[in-house]
Amino acid sequence: MVDSTDLATVLVVDDMPENLAVLGELLQVSYRVRVANSGPRALAIATGSPHPDLILLDVMMPGMDGHEVLRRLRADATTRNIPVIFVTALDASTDEEHGFESGAVDYIAKPIKPAVVLARVRTQIELKRARDSLADQNTWLEAEVTRRMRENQIVQDVAMRAMASLAETRDNETGNHIRRTQGYVEVLARALAANPNYAALRRADIIDLVIKAAPLHDIGKVGIPDHILNKPGPLTPDEWRIMQTHTTMGAEAIEHAMEGEEDHAPLAFLHLAIDIAYSHHEKWDGSGYPVGLKGLAIPLPARLMAVADVYDALISRRVYKPPMSHTDAVRIISEGRGSHFDPDIVDIFLANEQEIVAIAIRYTDESTATDSPQT
């Protein structure tokens, strides 16, 4: 015996009771049958729950005819995918063409032939179930792809942060330095995007890629000898020259990791990471390193990181210095406007002090000392 819950629902629409009776009796053996004797009633049933799996629709009805009913079904997102078979006494080829143009899936002429009706109804029900099954599978696949992409993204972010942390911990910094500088860069980038001169940042993916790349800014420190990286006093000129090579080593390391994958879209953030690693110690006036880039020649992601990195270094404890207060750090950043730092980014930094301090406090550690912007 067929489980009634597995039966497809067929809606029969006709203004003639005898036609409803004939079709209803024919179909009820294999389907759950509902009937409507007018267009408005048919629409009410079709938009209700559950929706019919198939509609047998009379064309010639008083008031609202079958073509108008079908037009309204197709205009409604909840019913536009219900297959409709026109049932009509009209037999001209132009009438049939009109029916198909309106969106009907088939056309049955009156007087009906039971075998023909059952065959065409069965075909359309099977097609409907196949489409529904495919749609369900596509929905599941889309959700599964999204889930796996998200998982891959999390793994990628964690792995990248772990690599960056290795570089940071070598000079006694903590993973929180990465989180803080990444947070500062996000605040600066999103605020700077409001400036008409930085319209390129308004592409949401650009800001996200800059934020994603930020933790790799000091990855090159893994190549700096411990006796230089952790020296408690001032570096000699030779030691300083070696320290400066962390920018080139970081950029080269990322480039080597990307060999053979340059055109791979998911790795686009690494191109920005190269700019950040290589140029975040360049200065606006051209006095920075490694090559003395000046002004707008310095990549924007590196200019953002320059402010973020220097601010966090100032308020953090290092082997060669104690932490500085937020107020003193802001003063140094302000004094570097137009010499060390991009003036526009310094202005954004000053306008968003509260958010900057909030990030510093949120990811604070014993090496960081922040106070309120007013002190």
**Residue 86: predicted pLDDT:** 92
In what side-by-side order are the strands of the sheet with 106-109?
A: 32-36, 9-13, 54-58, 84-88, 106-109
Give pLDDT, residue 52.
94
Six token digits for residue 371:
């106070």
- Which has the higher per-residue pLDDT, 210 or 146? 210
Most confident of 88-97, 275-284, 311-320: 275-284
CATH classification of 4-140, choosing from 3.40.50.2300, 3.60.10.10, 3.30.450.40, 3.40.50.970? 3.40.50.2300
Domain residue spans in the chain? 4-140, 171-362
Residue 92: the pLDDT is 52
Residue partners of 23: CB distance under 8 A and separation at least 6: 12, 14, 33, 56, 87, 112, 117
| DSSP state string for 248-287 | HHHHHHHHHHTTT-TT-GGGHHHHHHHHHHHHTT--TTS-
| Local confidence band at 173 (pLDDT 50, 70, 90 cut-offs) | low
User: pTM to 2 decimals?
Assistant: 0.60
Report whether CATH 3.40.50.300 matches the domain 171-362: no
pLDDT at 265 over 60: no
Q: Do 4-140 and 171-362 share a fold?
A: no
| % residues pLDDT > 90 (the chain) | 53
Q: Which residue has the higher pLDDT, 19 or 98?
A: 19
Give the pLDDT mean for 93-120.
82
Share of the chain above pLDDT 70, in %: 85
Mean pLDDT (the chain, rounded): 86
Q: What is the helix (H) or strand (E) element at residue 120, kind and residue range?
A: helix 114-170
- Give residue 102's pLDDT band: very low, low, confident or very high (50, 70, 90): confident
Residue type, 195: N
